Every structure is written in structure tokens, then in C-alpha cells.
Structure 1
């Protein structure tokens, strides 16, 4: 006898007898109508059939039906690589053309500066040349020209007079 056990356990069955078969315990009978939803008969790996909770199988009506792919989505999917390739090609072309574009922009700025200089310098030179020859403003030899033009109607003939003073 063990020190922690206050009493002695004696089996009432005859386990030593090879022909002894204990009587099975009575099992309750469950009718199929009494089985609640979500519970079903299952067979365990050792072959014993028992009741167990099961996961409901999805019905085919709840599964979404396959939808056809819209035409705009197909077109977009086909155009996306083409547009991307075109953008990549343009980027590569600009990278090769960058030195030439930079040189052309410098040339255009130089041409614009030359035009601005010409527009401002030519009148100054002409004014200085007139004063040197005596035809400048304020002298007795200055000539004023006036012109009067008249026309009647939208498509009428224009008449004009020119006065030298």
C-alpha cells in the first residue's frame, strides 16, 4: 500500500481471466431527428463512429458566379505595356539628345540676346547719325509729315492727303 493512499483499491473484475468480457454500458439511442444542426455522425481514425460538431459546407448558390472581364479592362491591360514602353523609349531618346538640346537652348538664348541688343541699339545709332548730319529734331531743317486718310463704309474706297511741313 502506498503512503499517500488512505485506502486500498481492490478491483472487482476478473482481468486475469482470458475469457472475461465486461458487459458494455448501455448507450443512449439518438434518433436522426433529435440531432441538432451542426452535429453529425463522423468516423474516427480508429473506426469508431460518434457524434461531433462539423463545419457546414458552403452551398453552391452562395459561391459568387464568375463574371466576364469587361472590354475596357482588357484594353487597358493591353495598352499599359505599350504606353509604358513608349514612355521608356522617349526617356532614353531624351537622355541621348540632352547634350544637343542643351546646346540648342544656349544658342536660342544667344540669338534672343542678339535680337534684343539689335532692337535697342539700332534706334540709338540712327538717332546719333541724324544729329551728326544736322537733320536732328529741334533744328530749322526738320521735316514733319502728316497723313490724313478717310474712308466711307466698310468696303469703301480710302482717300488720303500727305502734308510736308
Structure 2
């Protein structure tokens, strides 16, 4: 490489301040690390001017957001309390379910026994009150007229 006569593009220039760079020109760093000025082919954006930051304005919070924020811990707490209550009551719930099944079985057995007893008592009552009916029928000849008596006792 010839170091006596440097290439004109690689000559060292004093660094320009940002205010001195004309619009449409920007300072770029080349892959070999050198800094160079280049024309921009895209739209030019003026450099941002330092301005006083705008004071943030308070935005009102929507009512649904307030309601949701207030209900979320309540709902979560309710679920947690219900879970603790069910875990504490689990043995009692098992015992209650056994008692309920026993009660249902006793009621069903009692109903079957009651139906059988009522049926027998009813049969005895109706047998005692049932009238005894007798018929006496007589007829003479093959096509004779039949006569008869019916007795209720």
C-alpha cells in the first residue's frame, strides 16, 4: 500500500458539528471504521429540536376498570376461602353423604313394608265386607227357558 500519497477519499477531515451538516447529508461510519459524510436518498427528517417536554395530562379511569379492579381481589379471596372451607369440611361431607344414602334406603324400605302391610289389611277388610252371592239356575230341555234365583248374603 502506498502511504506517501493517500487516496483523496481517505484524507482526514476535521469533524463537523451536527449544526454544520447541511440538510440531506448525514455522517455515516463505514465498515472499516472511518467516518464519512453521505447524501441521503430517502426523505429527509429535520433534526429534532430540543423542546420543553409536554406535561402529561391525567386521563380519567373508566368505570369498568375501577369496578374490575375492586372485584378482582374480592373474587379471588372468595374462591380461596371456599377452597379452604371445602378442604376443611371434606370429612364431614363424606359422613353426611353416607347418612343421606342411609336415610334414602330406610325411606325406600319403609315404603315397601308399608305398601305390603296396607295391602294385607285391605284384603282382610274387603274379604269381611264382601257379600256372598249365590245363583241357582234351572232349565228344562235343550232349548227350554231358564229360571234362576240370586241370593245376596
Superposition TM-score, scaled by structure 1 size = 0.45
Superposition TM-score, scaled by structure 2 size = 0.48
Relative to its length, the structure with more helix (as a share) is: 2
